[in-house]
Structure 1
């Protein structure tokens, strides 16, 4: 099993960040390579469409408003992994702002640990950079 965690400190309140990213259906609001998100399964499944027309289906596994955290798994995606579980969390740093932490665990399938880890590290880093750009706009 492989894992990766990427964090980014931002000069915005945890509440403001969570308001933008805390909705399970909110990825198109801050992640430019996700152009559409549709909820089903009572709000526990999101079907994402990327800019190339690719489809990813993710399942909400846990949601905690108090700790500004949600965890999700991948039900369908073109990624070379199995057993994917990811957590998105906003941590209040007080007057300095907040830290956003995006982490995942998975088992590479048909690729090496380092290649799979590099894939998700890139997705998380690019995603957090896009989030910062959205908040700073």
Structure 2
């Protein structure tokens, strides 16, 4: 099983950051390469549209508002991976917050290193975009 993980420190409270990213439907609010999100199945499934027009369907697997974390799986996506499970977590870090985005998955048609590099780039790029919402 392949894995990827990225973290970033943000100069805002964990509560403020969670307010922006904690909703399962909030990706278009902070992630530039997701332009549209629609919830279904009582908020447990999100259908996403990427900036290049691709469709991604994800299912909420766990949600803990108090711990500021949620996990989701991918049901449909143009990624070379199966058995995908990722977690987004916000933790208090001094006066600010640390956000960690991590995932595990099985490579499909590519090497573990290739799919790890893909998701590493997605996670790091996404967290940098999130950080841009909080100028120091």
State the TM-score, normalizing by the size of structure 1: 0.97
Report what 1:91 is aligned to.
91
Taking only aligned residues, the RMSD between alpha carbons, in angstroms, comes to 1.0
> Is 1:105 the counterpart of 2:95 in the alignment?
no
Number of matched pairs: 136
Secondary structure of the residue aligned to 2:43 is coil
Looking at structure 2, the residues matched to 136 and 37 of structure 1 have their Cα atoms a distance apart, in angstroms, of 26
Looking at structure 1, the residues matched to 117 and 133 of structure 2 have their Cα atoms a distance apart, in angstroms, of 24
The answer for unaligned runs of 5 or more in structure 2 is none
The answer for unaligned runs of 5 or more in structure 1 is none
Secondary structure of the residue aligned to 1:125 is helix
> Is 1:13 the counterpart of 2:16 in the alignment?
no
Runs of 4+ in 1 over 3 A off after TM superposition: none
TM-fit CA distance, 1:134: 1.8
State the TM-score, normalizing by the size of structure 2: 0.97
Looking at structure 1, the residues matched to 133 and 58 of structure 2 have their Cα atoms a distance apart, in angstroms, of 23
